[in-house]
């Protein structure tokens, strides 16, 4: 989010107040934040900070990680300066202060709204990332399926036996269940492509099965239809055993995922994750100021 998208007072924004400490971590000065949240008295603002620290502790997070005592030099007229108490605040601390501030203040209400938008934006971003990951691995699996089919043909598998060859891999990985049996177990319609209803984990297991089978056919120079079918089933069983050894969920027990077409549609219609509308982009200032 750019400073331009979050005007506060003059050319200063909440994001524009961000500083970086010697550890490379971002922080905000409580003294800088004070007027932004509508507090004219430090004493009143510090009370909100203390309530926020309690909330931090209650949420299971060490307050020292988010509220660091510090000093700040301020001008006192005629070029003089004096040191005052200050805090270095993490982004989480700023959020907690907004949540524990005086709700009668317009600035606090706008701050709460701003952080709520940020939290939701992150949730949406995480969800879209998961969608993109699943769609990408589905595309990769489709390409690997084609490559395995080519390798099977080179290993002597006739076109009319391709169904048997691919089913052998499923049977090895799914404890004897072939394509149609897996669909029946998971409640997937016969006309649907099984791979389209797999989640990312299940797709990855099947992609690994395919790549390892293709490598095995080439490495061992297999050139016989039945040997190729057997090799595919053996690789499927080995992948299954590997999943079992590491304590993973057996593929036949992984819940069915929504159709991949729904994921594609959602990604196409999703707005840019980092872009907020003008109304929400005003963040801490609210709608009234320019």
How does pLDDT run across 191-224, given as a tens digit for each residue?
A: 999 999 999 999 999 999 999 999 999 999 999 9
- pLDDT value at residue 59: 80
User: Which residues of the chain carry a pLDDT beneath 70?
Assistant: 1-12, 71-82, 117-126, 270-290
- pLDDT value at residue 288: 43
Angstrom CA distances, 135 to 142, 170, 242, 267, 268, stand at 11, 21, 25, 9, 12
Residue 128 corresponds to which tokens in the numbers above? 């879209």
Tokens 């020292």 belong to which residue? 64
- pLDDT value at residue 144: 94
- pLDDT value at residue 81: 61
CB atoms within 10 A of CB 236: 26
- The string of pLDDT tens digits covering residues 78-122 is 655 667 889 998 888 888 898 898 888 888 888 887 777 666 556
- pLDDT value at residue 17: 86
Strands 19-20 and 26-29 turn out to be: antiparallel
Query: Kind and range of the H or E element at 170?
Result: helix 162-173
- pLDDT value at residue 255: 96
Residue 73 to residue 206: CA distance in whole angstroms: 62
- Name the residue among 282, 258, 275 with its Cα closest to residue 121: 275
Residue pair 178/169 in contact (Cβ under 8 Å)? The answer is no
Residue 99 to residue 92: CA distance in whole angstroms: 11
pTM confidence score: 0.56
DSSP, collapsed to helix, strand or coil, labels residue 12 as strand
Query: Could you give the dihedral angle defined by the CA atoms of residues 14, 16, 22 and 25, in that order, rounded to the nearest 10 degrees?
Result: 50
- pLDDT value at residue 132: 85
Phi, psi at 75, each rounded to 5°: -75, 145
Residue 271 to residue 81: CA distance in whole angstroms: 48
């Amino acid at each position: 989010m750019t400073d331009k998208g979050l005007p506060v007072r003059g050319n200063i924004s909440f994001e524009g107040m961000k500083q970086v400490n010697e550890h490379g971590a971002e922080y905000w000065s409580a003294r800088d934040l004070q007027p932004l949240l509508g507090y004219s008295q430090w004493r009143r603002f510090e009370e909100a900070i203390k309530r926020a620290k309690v909330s931090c502790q209650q949420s299971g997070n060490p307050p020292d990680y988010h509220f660091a005592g510090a000093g700040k030099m301020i001008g006192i007229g005629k070029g003089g300066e004096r040191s005052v108490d200050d805090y270095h605040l993490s982004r989480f601390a700023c959020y907690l202060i907004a949540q524990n501030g005086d709700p009668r203040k317009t600035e606090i209400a706008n701050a709460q709204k701003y952080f709520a938008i940020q939290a939701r934006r992150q949730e949406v971003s995480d969800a879209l990332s998961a969608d993109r990951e699943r769609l990408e691995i589905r595309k990769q699996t489709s390409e690997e399926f084609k490559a395995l089919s080519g390798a099977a043909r080179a290993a002597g598998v006739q076109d009319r036996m391709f169904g048997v060859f691919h089913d052998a891999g499923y049977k090895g990985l799914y404890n004897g269940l072939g394509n149609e049996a897996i669909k029946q177990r998971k409640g997937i319609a016969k006309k649907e492509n099984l791979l389209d209803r797999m989640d990312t984990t299940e797709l990855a297991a099947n992609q690994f099965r395919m790549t390892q089978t293709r490598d095995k056919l080439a490495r061992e120079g297999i050139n016989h239809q039945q040997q190729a079918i057997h090799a595919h089933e053996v690789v499927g069983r080995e992948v299954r055993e590997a999943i079992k050894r590491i304590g993973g969920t057996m593929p036949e027990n992984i819940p069915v995922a929504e159709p991949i077409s729904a994921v594609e549609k959602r990604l196409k219609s999703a707005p840019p994750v980092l872009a907020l509308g003008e109304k929400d982009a005003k963040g801490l200032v609210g709608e009234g100021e320019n």
